[in-house]
Amino acid sequence: MSLPSPEPLEPPRVGATLQALRQTQGLSLDELSRRAGVSKSMLSQIERNQANPTVAVVWRLANALRVELAELLGGERHSAPAIEVVHAHNIPSMSSPDGLCQLRILGPIDLAGDFEWYELTIQPGGALESAAHEPGSREHLSVLKGMLEVSATQASHMVQTVVQAGETARYAVDGPHAIRNKTDAAATALLVVLHP
């Protein structure tokens, strides 16, 4: 006895959903193309159902639109839990090559590029030196323990200030900037980066 052949499955059509999500967010094809790293012509073809995107392209589009993959594929949006707890061992971190600076990434990945926040620990003699971010970007450094020196470019001049525990420094980061620990004790701070 032979089983009947299964009906061939058609790939999901994401065109109408993509277009609706893009328009709801007030994004042009150019802007979505820039955010997702997908060509404008490919986006146009997807929206008109003339092309079926790869999983990688759908993933990039979902991230750029800040929606779940299932929503872009036409499924239901999953509601977030009332309270989401990220356990300490699941919080990603980065260290400088010399190991004197550590950044714990506290913000969710879907906000990266818009709004980021970190727990920053700098050992004595350590420095977090950064190149310019996009124009209009700002950092907010709130020192929780110890003392840090902040350097930022203002009108093509480097200015510096000392920020002590309990204080917050706010400064433009569209030029080179740095946070240094020139003391003999470790310092801890919250670092928030706002992108335009």
Question: What pLDDT was estimated at residue 11?
Answer: 58
pLDDT band at 20 (very low <50, low <70, confident <90, very high): confident
pLDDT in tens, 134-151: 999 999 999 999 999 999
> In this predicted model, which residue has the larger pLDDT, 24 or 153?
153
Lowest mean pLDDT among 75-79, 104-108, 135-139, 185-189: 75-79
Is residue 41 scored above 60 in pLDDT?
yes
Distance, in Å, from the CA atom of 102 to the CA atom of 94, rounded to the nearest integer, reads 6
> In this predicted model, which residue has the larger pLDDT, 160 or 84?
160
Question: What pLDDT was estimated at residue 29?
Answer: 86
Question: What pLDDT was estimated at residue 165?
Answer: 98
pLDDT band at 4 (very low <50, low <70, confident <90, very high): low
